[in-house]
Amino acid sequence: MSTIEQKFIVFLAVAAEKNFSRAASKLFISQPAISQYIQALEAELGTILFERGRKGVVLTKAGEIVLKHVKELKSVYESMAREVEENIHEPKGTLKIGASYTFGEYVLPYVIAKLLKRYPLIQPSIVIGNTKEIGEGVANRKLDIGLIEGETHHSSLHIQHVAKDEMYIVAHKKHPLLLRSIIEREDLQDVTWLIREQGSGTREAIERFFLLYEIKPSKTLEFGSTQIIKESVEAGIGISLLSAWAVRKELQHGVFQYLKMEGMPLRRNFSMIKARSQFETKACEVFRNTIIAFFQDDHNI
């Protein structure tokens, strides 16, 4: 399918580059051809679109109006082409997904179920790791897309927040702190805290929590996954700060309870990450849209 008219492509390039020569290089055509396209468009509209100066060209008022509508035209055309493409070619193929533990173990299965119901030819390949590991996998192009809780600090990655995750202090239903109507900071100093390893988004969140409430726990035990922490909470070893997604079933069955503390829950971001300037397959695009729609549906699982 052809693109929008060449004269509009040339106009957009000149408006972006503010220079006929650079626009010509960008479009791989000659500078005289650029001038001819712009002159023809100006003649068609009966007005000057660019003012020429020693430092390049700038849009006139009429040019700004044209720019606004040409951008809208380009957007509408691309949307039309994308919908036609999706109608002709169903998304398919392998999709390499990386997810940090909380998202990967407690949210992703529901998203994948929705994805495969609509796009059965997509073949998800899933890697679970901590936030740091998933960020590195996406940055190194070993993964098409990553799903993390917390933040990543790779400058080569584009990050898009898709939802807020709520985190609570959880304890076994018979933990003595549950006898208190409200938990104070001092109550949390002398209990055993179960925490994740360095590089985990959950570890980053609990360290932020300790700093925020000036808590210096007397004893911490470090574990490599949220599931082990949950088993240890159930065994009565200690308490932890975990995502509401991770403890849904335990709360429903009355095994865990939240400790009531002012200022809770602690909130953090669920985010999608992609390598900047990376070509995106149609399978990856529809997967991103499925995630966004999933959270817009208010966690309809």
Q: Do 156 and 204 share a structural domain? A: no
Number of domains in the chain: 3
Residue 169, Cβ neighbours under 10 Å: how many? 23
What local confidence, expressed as pLDDT, does residue 87 receive? 64
pLDDT at position 298, please?
Answer: 57
Boundary residue ending a domain (88, 105, 122): 88
In a domain, 276, yes or no: yes
170 touches 233 (CB < 8 A): yes
Alpha-carbon distance of 291 to 160, in angstroms, equals 11
Tell whether 140 is covered by a domain.
yes
Q: Return the structure tokens found at 131.
A: 């936030």
Do 201 and 234 fall within a single domain? yes
> What SS3 class is residue 206?
helix
Question: Does residue 197 share a domain with residue 211?
Answer: yes
- Say yes or no: 276 and 151 in one domain: yes
170 and 264: one domain?
A: yes
Domain with 190, as residue range(s), is: 166-268
Do 188 and 251 fall into the same domain?
yes
How far, in Å, CA of 170 to CA of 238, rounded?
9
Q: Are residues 182 and 203 in the same domain?
A: yes
- Tell whether 245 and 171 lie within a shared domain: yes
Question: Is residue 1 one of the residues assigned to a domain?
Answer: no
Q: Please, what are the averages of pLDDT over each run of 10 residues along the chain (301 residues)?
A: 75 93 92 93 94 87 95 84 70 91 93 94 93 90 90 82 93 92 88 92 92 92 93 95 94 92 90 83 91 78 44
> Global pTM?
0.64
How many other CB atoms sit within 10 Å of the CB of residue 193? 22
Residues pairing with 117 in the sheet: none
- CATH code, domain carrying 186: 3.40.190.10
Write out the E strands in 5-118: 50-53, 56-59, 93-100
Domain limit, last residue, from 43, 58, 88: 88
Residues 105 and 142 in one domain: yes
